[in-house]
Amino acid sequence: MLIILFLIILFHVAAAALLFVATIYNAWWVVTPTGLDVIYTDLWYSCNSTCIPVENSHTSSAAFLQTVQATMILATILCCVSFFVFILQLFRLKQGERFVFTAIIQLLACLCVMIGASVYTAQKESFHVPSLRDGSYGASFILAWVAFPMTLLSGLMYLVLRKRK
């Protein structure tokens, strides 16, 4: 049982690390114009040699971008909170009652990641100025989609684990 708990903790920490990197790192969208530096765009900035804020990210016309920002931040926070709740429940609750609350929080984090990545996928054209539209998805976008099944599996593992002795 101790090995299972260690592997679940390791899996949860890996999912949280993926969420942190996907939210912070500046490679949601990558554009390689001919003869120029590669331009990396994340949820807040577009960077090549210098970084500038994403155009109109504070206006209502960028509500889709604000949705992705909020859901990715919320997913990261919920994943960290569920880890701390897991540690608290591990030592405080009796058998059979454990990890239900942790599973619920982790599944909410999974839902937030799915919403954020889905909105970015569906509305990527409205995020970028026309000169940046001829690009491709970057590493952070892919990490966000990888974090989705990891948080889902982690939440489901907590539900299964609550019945184990």
Distance CA 77, CA 28 (A): 20
pLDDT value of residue 101 = 87
Question: Residue 128 has what pLDDT?
Answer: 62
Taking 80 as the threshold, does the pLDDT of residue 102 lie above it? Answer: yes
Lowest mean pLDDT among 36-40, 138-142, 153-157: 36-40
Phi and psi for 45 in degrees, rounded to 5? -130, 155
How would residue 149 be classed by pLDDT, with cut points 50, 70 and 90?
very high
Q: What is the distance between the alpha carbons of residues 119 and 148, in angstroms, rounded to a whole number?
A: 14
Lowest mean pLDDT segment, chosen from 21-25, 46-50, 56-60, 113-117: 56-60
Our measurement of the distance from residue 12's CA atom to the centroid of its chain's CA atoms, rounded to an integer in Å, reads 13
Q: What is the pLDDT of residues 37-51, one digit of tens each?
A: 788 888 888 777 787
Chain mean pLDDT for the chain: 84
CA distance 151 to 70: 17
pLDDT tens readout for residues 44-77:
887 777 877 777 667 766 788 889 999 999 999 9
CA atoms within 13 A of residue 160's CA, in its CB half-sphere: 10
Looking at residue 151, what is its pLDDT?
A: 94
pTM of the model: 0.86
Give percent of the chain above pLDDT 90: 36
Residue type, 142: I
Tell me: pLDDT of 22 over 80: yes
Q: What is the pLDDT of residue 35?
A: 66
